[in-house]
Amino acid sequence: MISKIKEIKNNHLIWIFVGIIFVFVLLLPHVVFIASHVSLSSNEGWNAYLARSAMGLDHAPLYPPSDQMVFNNYPPSSFYIVGLFGWLLGDMILAGRIISLLALLACACTVGRLVLILGGARAGAWFAGLLVVIYSAVCYSDYVAMDDPQWLGQAIVMLGFVVLLGNGREPGRITTWRSFGAGCLMVAGLTVKHNILALPVATLVWLLLVDWRRAMSWLSGCLLATCVLGGVFYAAFGPDFIHGVFGHKRVFYLHGMLKGVGNTLGLSGMAVSCMFLRRMRLPCRFGLLLGLFVFLSIASAIVQRMGMGVSHNSCFEALVAVALCAGLAVSYLLGKGDGPVGRLPARTVLAGVVGLNLLPVVVSLPGYLPYLYRTTAVDIARHEGAWNETITAVHDIDGSVACETLALCYWAHKPAVIDFFNYSQHVAVTHDATALERAVNRHAIAAFVSSSRFGAAADVWEFSELWRIVRTRYTHVRLQGAAYIVTP
């Protein structure tokens, strides 16, 4: 019997080792090129400029007035965290990429820790954590090691969840002070990224149903953190902070929900694990808490995808929720040993559950791995010289330069004069492009730079309404390295 147990443990260790090697293969290209001057997202330069503003390295305010062409609709905390690290490194984009990658790994570790807290096995904890990283790398690879605060905010909110549960197997351990601190941490996470709402709402509902005293303590922590941090932010930035974060103009499309449904369907293999929550009979109605978390996170992802510019980051909460359930389901089935689960042996059910959890990844791998190494490794290495040529050309232009890909202007040490995406949303909602028309008519901007010419053809002149205004006075177009530079 003892030898059989050792054999099972050794098998688990082998599979865990294989999973770690697999994660290493998926993350390697992102790590190797993490310092490259090639930006795969317009968000990177935008976040970098705001981090510089937070550190006082630019004269521009962190929350510009509403009549400007640069916008900030994010809470301020991430800009100070990334800004401090970027100030030490000398590159805000590199700092943001490193923090984002570490935050992703921290989320994976937190999910594994939660599996253990809720009574799961170590193998289940490892499985859950690896699922978070593997699905992120395969399904949401554009957010791996990208200068964006979503994973950082998610990590802080999940840390609040860990603080709340403590040792979940003993309900009395969820103390007043622990629930108070958890409320403070979750609000702190929302000041990094404010769309991480499913877990806080699920926690509130669960606490109200299970222990209203702890619910009041949790709400007190949330209220205190909101008042203190909100007061500090308002004192520092004034009404522009409120207008920027809560009054941001954005176009919403109902059919965007179909994208959200498609994104969450990719997680359906892991969502099957939720069927075992009732069988596990978790103490203190933790099954209800996890069920609420899964449901609200999937609903949140679908609704958020209606907004223009909202991408895979809306699905991170859903990924974390179903990975947590998957780890617990695997732990439950491992605990059954050779016993039956329904009419089937536990090992058969375990193999089926693990297979369903990994099926979307396994199906995607034959096409994804070549794509990953071609786009992230080969293409970046091939095109970095062209990007550096564009950056040098932008740096040498006298006067302000407006870049669609803001990282180009950031690395060229030019101030940010227009945020193409957010300004296009502003124009689409308000039908007011006065600021751009005035700048174009006065030739206040020396040059405009399009998106990378190596992207899809539709992306090179993506913001057609803004480019129509620009091209009335800026008629000369030249190809320079990785982009087109448009001048009068």
Q: Averaged over 163-187, what is the pLDDT?
A: 81
Burial class (CB in 10 A: 0-12, 13-18, 19+), 462: middle
Q: How many helices and strands, by DSSP H and E, does the chain display?
A: 22, 6
Close Cβ partners of 69 (under 8 Å, ≥ 6 residues apart): 417, 418, 419, 423, 435, 436, 439
Q: Residue 172: what pLDDT?
A: 47
Taking 50 as the threshold, does the pLDDT of residue 171 lie above it?
A: no
Contact in structure between 365 and 22 (CB atoms under 8 Å): no
Q: What is the DSSP string of 104-156?
A: HHHHHHHHHHHHHHTT--HHHHHHHHHHHHHHHHHHSGGGTT-S-SHHHHHHH
Residue 4: band (very low, low, confident or very high) from pLDDT cuts 50, 70, 90: very low
Q: Residue 365: what pLDDT?
A: 79
Q: Residue 141: what pLDDT?
A: 85
Burial class (CB in 10 A: 0-12, 13-18, 19+), 295: middle
In tens, the pLDDT along 113-147 reads 999 999 888 989 999 999 999 999 888 888 999 99
Joined together, the tokens standing for residue 444 give 């206040």
**Range from 355-359, 364-368, 419-423 that averages highest in pLDDT:** 419-423
% of the chain residues with pLDDT over 90: 57
Q: Residue 7: what pLDDT?
A: 47
In tens, the pLDDT along 219-275 reads 999 999 999 999 999 999 999 999 999 888 888 888 888 888 888 888 888 888 888
Give the per-residue SS3 of 239-274: HHHHHHHHCCCCCECCCHHHHHHHHHHCCHHHHHHH
Q: Averaged over 287-315, what is the pLDDT?
A: 91
Q: Residue 5: what pLDDT?
A: 43
Q: Residue 170: what pLDDT?
A: 55
Taking 80 as the threshold, does the pLDDT of residue 53 lie above it?
A: yes
Taking 70 as the threshold, does the pLDDT of residue 168 lie above it?
A: no
In tens, the pLDDT along 146-166 reads 999 999 999 999 999 999 988
Mean pLDDT estimate for the chain: 88
Taking 80 as the threshold, does the pLDDT of residue 452 lie above it?
A: no
**Range from 13-22, 235-244, 350-359 that averages highest in pLDDT:** 235-244
Q: Of 2-16, 99-113, 145-159, 324-338, which gets the smallest average pLDDT?
A: 2-16
Taking 60 as the threshold, does the pLDDT of residue 351 lie above it?
A: yes
Residue 342: band (very low, low, confident or very high) from pLDDT cuts 50, 70, 90: low
Q: Residue 459: what pLDDT?
A: 66
In tens, the pLDDT along 390-423 reads 999 999 999 999 999 999 999 999 999 999 999 9
Q: Averaged over 195-201, what is the pLDDT?
A: 95
Q: With left for phi above 0 and alpha for psi between -120 and 50, is residue 487 left, alpha or beta?
A: beta
Taking 50 as the threshold, does the pLDDT of residue 466 lie above it?
A: yes
